[in-house]
Amino acid sequence: MVIRSAAQSLLVVVGAFVSGAVVLLLTGHNPLLVYLELIERTLLRRSGIEESLVAMSPVLLAAIAAWIASRVGMWNIGIDGQIVAGAVAAGAIAPHLGAWPVWLMWLACAVAGVIAGALWALIPAMLRVRRGVNEIVTTIMMTYVAYSSASWLIKGALKDDEMVAPATRIVDVARRLPELPSTRIHIGVLVAVVACLTVWILSRWTAIGMLSRVAGEAPRAAHRIGVPVDRYVVTAFVASGGVAALAGVNEVIAVRGSVQADWRPPYGLAAFGVLFLARRQVAGLIPAALLLGMLEYGATVLPRSTGVAPNFFPLLEGLILVFLAIVNWRRIVPRGRSLARSEGAT
């Protein structure tokens, strides 16, 4: 079972890479060289492995967020907006907590960020549950509202006066999340992995974890047996937003130390790639996220060594999504969404 799913995912990735190779050929590059360079730089170099792991962290968190939402049959397309919300919240309070012990500051930032992300997801969730508004549209709009609001705040109230490009006041390197000794892997990466494990445990061994699946796949049946579907949906969506926000918090307390006004996190769509590459199994999220983390890192260094324009990598990710969509997922998409049931039931 696991082997077959893994094989199918592998096939998808291969398919995407082959299509990408065609594009490379058409523009005069040697795909073999490019791909070998990609593998060499991301897997066969110590710095590459480290950077790929670091790049994996936000993608993994975003994927977990997408997974939680999909568990109850919802599509959280607004992950990037929630990430920004989390980052802004953390970036807003971090500079004021200079006197606090470091770990407390981190905790505070995390809490603030999660709340911000959760709130950001709450609006589309409530709109969906109360007024039946499709969450796809609302989450996308919320993302753009997040971008503009973030710019407005960062350029205004939160601006670091000593910096030229508008950004929140920077968190000193000494106060950021520590790295694993002798590596560049910051603890945020571990946090992401731990989050993944936590979600796995919750989904298998708690009532809400298991029932949420029923709520997602057969909402009417669930309702009939007394599961508070709406409440589960909102809770899950809000949790999804909170988890996504952690990626933003990491940006502030680990990666860059601040949020810049024009930051547009590119993780929202990749999250779905990871989600479906992993066949919506929590265990598969980590390796799939690592793959996409490698691609993200590759996009920063390959243009210089191969001359390939950086846009090639989003193209590759998009192709992965396309191939994922095409491979028959009838068993993966919650059955509640297929027509047969909804036509038959009243």
Partner 1 sequence: MKLIRLFRSGLIVGVLLSTAWMPWFAMDDVSAKTEVDKVAIVTPASRSNQGWDQQGVDTLVAIGKDRDIEVEVVENAGNDPITPVLRDLADDDVDLVFCHASGYQSECPEFAQSEGVPVVVIENPDAVLDGLVADIETQAQKVAYLAGVMAAAETKTGKVAIVVSGEPPTWNYMTAGFAQGVHDTNPDVELIYSVIGEAAYDDSPNAKRVTETVIAAGADIVFGMGDGASFGMIQAIREHNAESEDEQAVRFIDVIGDKSDSEAGEFLMTSVLFDYTGAYTTMIDDLEAGTFGSVYTMNLENEGVRLLEPPIEIDPATMEQVEKARQGILDGTITVPTISDAEELETFLDDLAGDQE
Partner 2 sequence: MNVIETLLASAMLAAAPLMLAAIGEAIGQRSGQLNLGVEGVMLLGAFTGFVVVEAGGTVSAGLVAAMIIGMVVGAGFGLATTLLSANQIVLGLGVALAGEGATGYLFRERFGLSQPLLDAGMSRPLHHFAGIPVVGPALFDQRWFVYLAWALVVGIGAWMRYGRPGLILRAAGESPFATEAAGVDVQRVRVIAAIVGQGLVGLGGGALSLVEVGFFTPGMTVGIGFIAIAIAMVGQQRPLRIAGLAIVFGLLRGSGTAIQLTNVDVQTEFLELLPYAGVLVLVVLMGRQVRLPRALGLAYDRESRNA
- Please report, as ranges, the residues that interact with partner 1 according to CB under 8 A: 1-2, 41, 45-47, 49, 51, 54-55, 151, 155, 162-167, 170, 173, 182, 184, 255-258, 260-264, 266, 283, 297, 300-301, 303-304, 309-310
Determine which residue in the list 140, 202, 208, 221 makes contact with partner 2, applying CB under 8 A. Answer: 140
CB of 52 to partner 1, least distance (A): 9
With respect to partner 2, which residue has the nearer C-beta, 11 or 44? 11
Q: From the CB of 22, what's the least distance to partner 1, in Å?
A: 23
Return the amino acid letter for 212: S
Q: Min. distance of Cβ 33 from partner 2 in angstroms?
A: 16
Q: Does 15 bind partner 2 (CB under 8 A)?
A: no
Residue 137 contact among partner 2, partner 1, none, beta carbon within 5 to 8 Å by kind: partner 2
DSSP β-bridge partners for residue 155: none
The item of partner 2, partner 1, none sharing an interface with residue 262, based on CB under 5 to 8 Å by kind, is partner 1
Compute the least distance from the CB of residue 173 to partner 1, in Å: 6
237, 73 contact by CB (below 8 A): no
Query: Which one among 149, 183, 203, 281 touches partner 2, defined by CB under 8 A?
Result: 149
How far is 218 from 89, CA to CA, in rounded Å? 36
Task: Identify the bridge partners of residue 179 per DSSP, sorted by sequence position.
Answer: 186
Q: Would you count residue 75 as binding partner 2 (CB under 8 A)?
A: yes
Near partner 2 by CB under 8 A: residue from 42, 82, 138, 168: 138
Say how far apart CA 118 and CA 63 lie, in whole Å: 16
* Binding-residue pattern over the window 151 to 190 for partner 2, x denoting contact by CB under 8 A: xx--xx----------------------------------
Please report how close the Cβ of residue 257 comes to partner 1 at its closest, in angstroms.
Answer: 6
CB 37 within 8 A of CB 45: no
For residue 102, state whether it binds partner 2 (rule: CB under 8 A): no
Candidate ranges 1-9, 23-31, 169-177, 190-198; the one touching partner 2 (CB under 8 A): 23-31
Select from 184, 193, 165 the least CA-distant residue to 64. Answer: 193
As measured in angstroms, the least distance from the Cβ of 231 to partner 2 is: 20
319 binds partner 2 (CB under 8 A): yes
The secondary structure of 133-195 as a DSSP string is --HHHHHHHHHHHHHHHHHHHHHTTTB-TT-SS-BBPPPPGGGSPPBPTTS--BHHHHHHHHH
Bridge-partner residues for 186, per DSSP?
A: 179
Using an 8 Å Cβ cutoff, are 321 and 272 in contact? yes
Among 11, 36, 210, 325, binds partner 2 (CB under 8 A): 325
Query: Which backbone phi and psi does 186 adopt, to 5 degrees?
Result: -85, 160
4 binds partner 2 (CB under 8 A): no
Strand partners, 260: 167
**Does 132 sit near partner 2 (CB under 8 A)?**
yes
For residue 208, count other CB atoms closer than 10 A to its CB. Answer: 15
Q: Is the dihedral of CA 122, 127, 132, 138 positive or negative?
A: negative
342 binds partner 2 (CB under 8 A): yes
- Tell me whether residue 97 or residue 153 sits nearer to partner 2 (CB atom): 153
Place of tokens 């130390």: 257
CB 67 within 8 A of CB 59: no
Cα dihedral 298/303/307/313 (nearest 10) = 60
Residues in the chain: 346
Give the contacts of 27 (CB within 8 A, at least 6 positions apart).
none
**Considering the rule CB under 8 A, would residue 11 count as an interface residue with partner 2?**
no
- Is residue 276 classed as helix, strand or coil in its secondary structure? helix
Provide the binding-site residues for partner 2, judged by CB under 8 A.
23, 27-28, 75, 77, 127, 131-134, 136-138, 140-142, 144-145, 148-149, 151-152, 155-156, 269, 272, 276, 309, 311-326, 328-330, 332-333, 337-344
